[in-house]
Amino acid sequence: MKARMSLFIPCILICAAYAAANEWQQADSHQHTQEVQRRGDQAMGFDHARTTHHFLLSSSGGAIQVTANDPKDQESRDQIRMHLTHIAKMFSEGDFEIPMLVHAQTPPGIVVMKELKGDVSYKYVEIVDGGKVVISSDNPAAINAIHEFLRFQIKDHQTGDSLEVVR
């Protein structure tokens, strides 16, 4: 009985430590998400709570898409369109300051996207209730960098978008 008890107590302690670490990690993750959204609201000029982000991967690159949640919310729609027009211009010039500010780090893919900026196209497209920036290239290294960048966005913004390339 003593042998079993001497194994039982360490198991309980390990489980308790694991549960506490997991709870701390979830709290830290929640705080990180809130900070990304707060910085994003400031940098983008619209409220994350009133809009929906999508990051979509395609065989030639992908897209950043944002829409107003309420079709009657013309203010958010107009702010989204203005922001994405600005993003398409900045990114085409190799300027990724806004995502670096929003995420408080250099997102994966940016270094290569800057180096290969002449091989990457950024096209703003107006859509119902918002807009999108279509990012494309024929250069495999640039396409890989675009995918890295968009996958990071999907994870950090927790959009639930597919991490797989849509053919």
Please tell me the pTM assigned to this model: 0.75
Token representation of residue 90: 């900045």
d(CA 100, CA 7): 49
Q: Give me the pLDDT at residue 10, please.
A: 52
Q: Give me the pLDDT at residue 125, please.
A: 98
Over the Cα atoms of the chain, what is R_g?
A: 21
Could you read off the pLDDT tens digit of each residue along the chain, which spans 167 residues?
555 555 555 544 444 444 444 455 444 556 645 554 555 455 465 677 999 999 999 999 999 999 999 999 999 999 999 999 999 999 999 999 987 676 688 899 999 999 999 999 999 999 999 999 999 999 999 999 999 999 999 998 899 999 999 77
Q: Give me the pLDDT at residue 25, please.
A: 46
Q: Give me the pLDDT at residue 151, please.
A: 97
CA-angle at 157, arms to 147 and 68, nearest 5° = 105
* CA-to-CA separations, 144 to 68, 91, 107, 157, in angstroms, rounded: 29, 16, 13, 20
* CA-to-CA separations, 63 to 55, 57, 74, 125, in angstroms, rounded: 6, 7, 22, 10
3-class secondary structure for 40-67? HHHHHCCCHHHEEEEEEEECCEEEEEEE
